[in-house]
Amino acid sequence: MGSGKKVARRDNAGSLSRKGLVLNYPQSLSSIERSQTGTVAGAIADLADPMVVTDRLTKRYGDFTALSNCSLSVARGEIFGLLGPNGAGKTTLIRSLLGFLRPTSGSCSVDGFDPMVDGVGLRSRVAYLPGDARLPRHMRGAGVLTFFSEMHPCGDVDRSLRVADRLELNVKTRVAFMSTGMRQKLALAVVLGLDTPLLILDEPTANLDPTVRAAVLDLVVEARSRGRTVMFSSHVLSEIEETCDRVAFLRKGELVRELMMSELFQRHRVTAKTTSVSAPASISVPDSLADRVRVSTITRANQELLCIDTDGDLSPMIGWLDSLQLVGMRIEPLGLRAVYDSVHMGGEVVV
């Protein structure tokens, strides 16, 4: 492979665009400093000195608002999930953060850099996996890894090769002859090989089999344990649930809910058959539990069930639940699915 710099071209934001996968590098290597965050994995989000801040960030295309007044912060060292249906504005938010889109109004910063003021400096702090990563088809996997690791100041080809190995990718294969999943693995090896303070992954596990998905999630968690901050979007609720410390829900361009995963794990749903004594109207909730319990009905497999959603420690509720003499009682963690349904489809759960 020849020198990548000869074939690369810069766009006016200083990014490297080589017919596909877009990574970014600064004009000057001396502007790079390694992250010294060292945040403990899974720690409560410390938002005193956040890695990412958006303030009423808005992006409009003509009359259409793709992102509306979005204000959020991502703490250093946390894994922050972005959830939302197709077209919710996740990619718009990510690309605005990176300076690829100019906001209509509002502002944002990454590690103290404003993308509209110093996009190059900002992008030197970030490794970004686009949702539609495309790679030079004529190159072999190893060549692609070398190319991008030489281009980025935080690159290290040995690290990229180790990631490729973890993902069981044959890097001798030409990109043109790779399957969709193999190309995704290669793009991941490029991005995860860059030792930047922030990692932004747009649907990183798309097109991957379950074993490789698990390996990718392990790599994400390892990145956090080395003090890196990770933002990632996914449509797979279980992987957000397993991996993220906090999650934001976007709907029609609006940030509608933020949730700490530790909060979610404190929520449970109790279901039971509806009988004359277990109809919602007959259930009396003690005052001590009133603000942590919500009683309703749901329909599952054409059967109406009594549904009790609880928030917080279950142990003080066990005696009360027992006193209700419910038939066919099941207790399950509420899970992200229920929250997602509640936020996006007007489900029964109030969260």
Where do contacts with ligand ATP occur on this chain (CB under 6 A)? 61, 64, 66, 84, 86-92, 131
Tell me which residue of 106, 119, 116 sits closest to 59, measured CA to CA. Answer: 106
Minimum distance from residue 88 beta carbon to ligand ATP (Å): 4
Cβ-based nearer residue to ligand ATP, 137 or 235: 235
Minimum gap (Å) between residue 89 Cβ and ligand ATP:
4
> In the block, which residue shows the tokens 């259930």?
283
Beta carbon nearer to ligand ATP, 132 or 209: 132
Nearer to ligand ATP (CB atom), residue 195 or residue 239: 239
Min dist CB 70 to ligand ATP, Å, is 11
Nearer to ligand ATP, 92 or 243 (CB): 92
**Rounded least distance, CB 252 to ligand ATP, Å:** 8
Nearest to 351 by CA among 238, 258, 271, 251: 258
Which of 15, 259, 275 has its CA nearest to residue 148? 15
Least distance in angstroms from the C-beta of 292 to ligand ATP: 33
CB 38 within 8 A of CB 77: yes
Cα–Cα distance, 326 to 275 (Å, whole number): 8
Residue 76 or 95 with smaller CB distance to ligand ATP: 95
Residue number with CB closer to ligand ATP (195 or 241):
241
Q: What is the dihedral of CA 78, 95, 257, 347, to 10 degrees?
A: -120
Report the distance separating Cα 341 and Cα 349, nearest Å.
Answer: 8
Q: How far apart are CA 101 and CA 96, in angstroms?
A: 5
Sheet with 303-311, edge to edge strand ranges: 293-300, 303-311, 267-273, 330-333
Nearer to ligand ATP, 90 or 267 (CB): 90
- Smallest distance from the beta carbon of 255 to ligand ATP, in angstroms? 12
Asked if 307 and 270 count as a contact pair (C-beta separation under 8 A), the reply is yes
Q: Dihedral, CA atoms, 225, 231, 235, 240, nearest 10 degrees?
A: 30
Let me know: does 99 contact 60? Beta carbons within 8 Å: no
Judge whether 87 and 103 are in contact, CB under 8 Å: no
Q: How far is the CB of 196 from ligand ATP (least distance, A)?
A: 22
